[in-house]
Amino acid sequence: MPSTDTTPLDWALFDIAVPRPSDRLPGVSMAGFRYRVPTPTDISMVAHPSVTLVFDLSEGTGLVYDAQGRPGRGSVVVGLLPGQVRAGVRTGECLQIRLEPVVAAAVLGASAELSGTVVSLEDVWGREAGRAEGRLRAAGTWDERFAIAVDLLGRRLSARPPVAPEVAHSWRRTLTSRGRMRVEDLADEVGWSRKRLSARFRSQLGITPKRAARLVRFDHAAHLLAAGRPAASVATESGYVDQSHLHHEVKEFTGLTPAAVAAAPWLEVDDVAWPGSSPGALVAPASAASA
């Protein structure tokens, strides 16, 4: 059985399932959610260094979203920067899959179009999106759903060319250094000019190396804040010039102050759903995001 947990927040209750280690792919993390909310609720997807697929498995209205000013409903792809969806029913289910940008590039053909957007999964996958959703809905357990997701993603990964090794290496170094490597140093490591690396990185991953580093650094800092660390020490440990620099970056990526990020409820879900991983697509109610 997948490991499960019931996590109560002041605005919702989640039953969360995560796959066993054998049901995982490199660069991919998954969690299943069965949620109960008192009223239809806005859910802000906070900036994170991954592209997120949300398969809506609810009956009825399910998830409602705004795709560049166009309303839609159903399964979505959330890009590297913030977006927003609405839980249109009080109870529902969804499978959330986080893809590192290198994997997303192969699975989705990710490009700059997916950076900072919420788009229909059908717009990205075409008819395959509906077939995948049907298979997932028909599955009787989360174990079955995770296995189906691994099969779907594995087929797409094997059918598409990977990103350039130099780009993949640069992304991995950005992630492992927690966003503290200079673009010039990344370029030196792969034997490219900074200009060439920046152009290829952006065309294949949908984000510049510099922006990716800021995003990874912010993600690390946000979780230190949520762990109760003082903002001043978080700024130092995360590689910011000073506390004011940290405040500016947190404000840009979330619209919140560092103190509000530390108290935001979405990290309670994050710690359960994504154990041992760099958290992604952090989820919060719109009321918290506007506090």
Domain 165-254 CATH superfamily: Homeodomain-like (1.10.10.60)
Q: Which of 173, 187, 15 is nearest to 91 (CA)?
A: 15
Starting at the earlier edge strand, list the strands of the sheet with 83-87: 70-73, 63-67, 83-87, 41-46, 282-285
Q: Residue 77 corresponds to which tokens in the numbers above?
A: 């792809």
Q: What is the CATH number assigned to the segment(s) 3-161+265-289?
A: 2.60.120.10
Q: Helix (H, G, I), strand (E, B), or coil: what is residue 46?
A: strand
Q: List, as one string, the DSSP characters of 99-166.
A: E-HHHHHHHH---GGGTT-EEEHHHHHTHHHHHHHHHHHH-SSHHHHHHHHHHHHHHHHHHSPPPPHH
CATH 1.10.10.60 residue ranges in the chain?
A: 165-254
Place of tokens 């959703």: 133
* pLDDT value of residue 246: 96
* pLDDT value of residue 136: 95
* pLDDT value of residue 73: 75
* pLDDT value of residue 262: 82
Place of tokens 């009956």: 59
Q: What is the pTM of this model?
A: 0.81
- The residues that bridge with 3 in the sheet, in sequence order, are 18
* pLDDT value of residue 113: 55
Q: Kindly give the parts of the chain with pLDDT less than 70.
A: 1-13, 22-23, 37-46, 60-62, 64, 66-71, 81-90, 110-116, 264-272, 274-291
* pLDDT value of residue 226: 82
* pLDDT value of residue 41: 59
* pLDDT value of residue 46: 63
CATH 2.60.120.10 residue ranges in the chain?
A: 3-161+265-289
CB 238 within 8 A of CB 230: no
How far apart, in whole angstroms, are the C-alpha atoms of residue 86 and residue 101? 25
DSSP 48: -
- The residues that bridge with 30 in the sheet, in sequence order, are 97
